[in-house]
Amino acid sequence: MVPSVCLGLPSGAILLYGRAMTRNDETKGAAANPLWGGRFAEGPSEIMERINASVSFDHRLALHDIAGSRAHADMLAAQGIITDADNAAIQDGLARIAQEVAAGEFRFDPALEDVHMNVEARLKDLIGEPAGRLHTGRSRNDQVATDMRLWLRDTQDAVAAGLQDLLVALLDQAQAHAATVMPGFTHLQPAQPVTFGHHLLAYVEMFGRDCGRLADARLRLNESPLGAAALAGTSFPIDRDMTAGALGFDRPTANSMDSVSDRDFCLEFLAAGAIIGVHLSRLAEELVLWTSPAYGLVRLPDGLTTGSSIMPQKRNADAAELVRGKAGRVVGSLVSLLTMLKGLPMTYGKDMQEDKEPVFDAAETLMLTIPATTAMIAGLTVDKDKMRAMTSQGFLTATDLADWLVRAKGLPFREAHHVTGSLVKAAEDAGCDLADLSLETMQAVDPRIDASVYDVLTVEASVSSRTSFGGTAPDRVAQAVKQARARFLT
């Protein structure tokens, strides 16, 4: 990612490549903006400059903008549109600017609006007249669309790599706890016994699908808008296949109007990101519950928890709470961009400048919350005894009893369900678990019950019996871990 730059400036001054320049230094008229000012008798007002400028956030695109410009210049030279000498000067200048950006030495000028005009102005400062030929056959409209695709392609790859690390952490814990029994819940009520490994594998499936969504979005993203120009293409004999190939795109975009007017590739990233955020939030919520004294099932590393300024006994799962809270930012970014785009006619409108901040913020949020979640999962300590003890609450083997009545005694399931409900009531009244009811008490409810019923009323028997594909039996969990590693880890 392009290093961030400091844009905090003294009042009335801007930084232009390291040189302080006050408003009194500026000339009015066309010179106020040499890249587009020829049409205007006056320069923009201060409020127009402020609302129009995007360099405070689109500076992140600088290296990708330079990469696109270098590919464009090579193509212009290959097509005889500019000379080889001009291309050589442009390439040398852009390479130097890239070094300045990478080193954090490039100073962006807010008066030049955006990253594109800052790079072009710096290029002119370095090489003079040849810089003015770089923009032949393109527009800022296709230029920014190209930059965003390049930046987002790299970002999606980074997010996917983070998810891979999270999958590894989840799979390692699932493998270690393939036979660790715990309560499974529906409606936050104890339902049936499962293994902790099986529970974690549910998140493996979620994040595995998230990786698939990112991969799908990347396929559609990977087309080059460069050469679409403002909206109608260009009369210069450009080679869009050449620039697409040079930038690692699969092909050029097929319609010049669509190329500059849509941001559905951003929407797809944000939609996938919002789903990732929701999955992270759900896992974070469970970590908050599991680490609370009421549950006490797992413990997070000290480095991922915080204390209280007034209550010395507190140990708060703040990392999990922040992951849960930050999911709302990513969802909000998706809604923001959808709302911005929904009323735009063809083709480009300045509204589309508002595409960047939601995408940047969502990406930065994901690149923070995914590693935080990975660290929590990799570092958590499981209290196996507490998990096992919790399975004695809530009559978790009731379904096993009903299934036994169907399988061993031939009762219709609805009748078996009714009999089991009566036995649960009897156990509740007696203050014991189902396995602690005497055979006489059970037979008083249904005389067909015999002593073999106790074979299915232990938690371990219940878990081991769930051998259906995708079930919680320890052997199934161990097998599922192995299969998931092959499916999701690249």
Residue 110 and residue 24 in contact, taking contact as beta carbons nearer than 8 Å: no
Q: What is the DSSP letter of 190?
A: E
What is the rounded distance in angstroms from the CA atom of residue 400 to the CA atom of residue 484?
Answer: 28
What is the rounded distance in angstroms from the CA atom of residue 210 to the CA atom of residue 48?
Answer: 41
What is the rounded distance in angstroms from the CA atom of residue 351 to the CA atom of residue 361?
Answer: 18
Could you tell me where the DSSP H helices lie in 380-412? 384-390, 398-409
* SS3 state of residue 138: coil
Peptide bond into 467 cis (omega under 30): no
The one catalytic residue in 187, 235, 309, 468 is 187
Name every residue whose Cβ is closer than 8 Å to that of residue 449 and which is 6 or more positions away in sequence. 405, 409, 439, 442, 443
Q: What is the DSSP letter of 310?
A: S
First-to-final CA distance of the chain: 23
What is the rounded distance in angstroms from the CA atom of residue 490 to the CA atom of residue 486?
Answer: 8
Q: Check if 187 is active-site.
A: yes
The single-letter code of the amino acid at 269 is F
What is the rounded distance in angstroms from the CA atom of residue 206 to the CA atom of residue 282?
Answer: 11
Residue 372 and residue 323 in contact, taking contact as beta carbons nearer than 8 Å: yes
The one catalytic residue in 4, 45, 56, 308 is 308
Q: Which of 30, 9, 11, 178 is nearest to 109 (CA)?
A: 9
- Catalytic amino acids? 187, 308
